[in-house]
């Protein structure tokens, strides 16, 4: 479907079915609002049976002021009448760099190779 970056300020709209579009907008470096929008990107009310579920904590989010607040730390499902329409996955990852010898705060540009295999 696409990606949403918490470091970028612009909102992103995603078509999750023929009937539903969601818009994610950065609130802070840790959270974003999830709203339902029409084909003109105008905010709509969530219909009965629309749910956003935090799958890490296995609980439904509360809708507040016409939006759901999601964070980069969890994964979510979006469902309507118990039918999952979309999933939001946090892609946690680290980039590991080797520190330059005897130089505080500087690192080699090349990532370290994974030697666990």
Q: Domain residues for 100?
A: 1-117
SS3 assignment, position 59: strand
The domain total for the chain is 1
Stronger pLDDT, 89 or 36, i.e. the higher one? 36
pTM of the model: 0.75
Give the tens place of pLDDT for each residue, 59-80. Answer: 999 999 999 999 988 999 999 9
At residue 73, the 3 state secondary structure works out as: coil
Tokens of 20: 């539903």
* Separation of first and last alpha carbons in the chain: 31
Residue with tokens 């049976």: 49
Query: pLDDT (tens digit, 9 = 90+) per residue, 11-51?
Result: 989 998 888 999 999 999 889 999 999 999 999 999 999 99
Q: Is 78 exposed, middle or buried (0-12, 13-18, 19+ CB in 10 A)?
A: buried
């Amino acid at each position: 479907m696409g990606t949403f970056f918490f470091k970028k300020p612009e909102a992103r709209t995603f078509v999750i079915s023929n009937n539903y579009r969601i818009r994610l907008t950065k609130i802070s470096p840790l959270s974003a609002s999830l709203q339902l929008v029409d084909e003109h990107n105008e905010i709509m009310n969530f219909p009965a049976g629309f749910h956003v579920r935090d799958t890490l904590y296995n609980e439904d989010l509360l809708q507040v002021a016409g939006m759901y607040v999601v964070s980069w730390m969890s994964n979510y499902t979006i469902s309507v009448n118990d039918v999952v329409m979309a999933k939001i996955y946090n892609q946690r990852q680290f980039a590991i760099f080797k520190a330059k010898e005897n130089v505080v705060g500087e690192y080699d540009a090349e990532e370290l190779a994974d030697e666990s295999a």
